[in-house]
């Protein structure tokens, strides 16, 4: 299985800036997470946008959709911020297997959630799901329109 990992920024890619005291988008953590997964796939990585998802624009989403559309890979993981991954997922082409992965805490600070969400996405893609757009968060991998971020408790849940 060939895999494209697209990194868009988001909390998963944030690092602490010791000078400003702020969390900023850093280098993509895709390679670090992928190396831990040891999934023996042919992987290509692409970094675009590099923003907190709250700062993403319709133009950023169009660029992301075009990157998915033009990729030769049929299996795609997108590292994305959790606040608007549903908006980005809604505009993705549906003719490939696309899984959005994020983390509520930066990988640079707490690795477990990011690794777990990513590993769930890899396992899901290996199970040969139907083409479509999915979100992998908090032990769920569901179609993007069947999962939501419950902001009151800070976790993703399936729609009833």
pLDDT tens-digit readout, 115-124: 999 999 999 9
- pLDDT level of residue 36 (50, 70, 90 thresholds): confident
**And the tokens for 4?**
């494209």
Q: What are phi and psi of 118, to 5 degrees?
A: -70, -45
Q: Which fold has domain 2-158?
A: Rossmann fold (3.40.50)
Q: Where are the domains of the chain?
A: 2-158
Which tens digits make up the pLDDT trace of 114-149?
999 999 999 999 998 999 999 999 999 999 999 999
| Selection from 25, 83, 81 nearest residue 50 by Cα | 25
Which pLDDT does position 62 carry in this prediction? 97
Q: What are phi and psi of 155, to 5 degrees?
A: -150, 160
| Dist CA 145 CA 102 (whole Å) | 16
| Selection from 146, 45, 74 nearest residue 137 by Cα | 146
């Amino acid at each position: 299985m060939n895999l494209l990992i697209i990194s868009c920024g988001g909390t998963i890619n944030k690092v602490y800036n010791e000078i400003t005291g702020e969390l900023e988008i850093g280098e993509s953590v895709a390679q670090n997470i992928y190396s831990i997964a040891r999934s023996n796939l042919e992987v290509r990585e692409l970094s675009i946008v590099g923003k907190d998802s709250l700062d993403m624009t319709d133009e950023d989403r169009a660029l992301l959709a075009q990157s998915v559309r033009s990729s030769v890979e049929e299996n795609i993981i997108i590292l994305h911020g959790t606040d608007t991954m549903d908006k980005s997922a809604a505009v993705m082409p549906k003719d490939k297997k696309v899984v959005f992965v994020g983390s509520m805490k930066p990988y640079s600070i707490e690795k477990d959630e990011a690794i777990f969400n990513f590993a769930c996405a890899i396992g899901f893609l290996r199970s040969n799901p139907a083409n479509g757009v999915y979100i992998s968060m908090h032990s769920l991998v569901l179609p993007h329109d069947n999962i939501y971020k419950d902001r009151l408790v800070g976790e993703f849940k399936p729609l009833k």
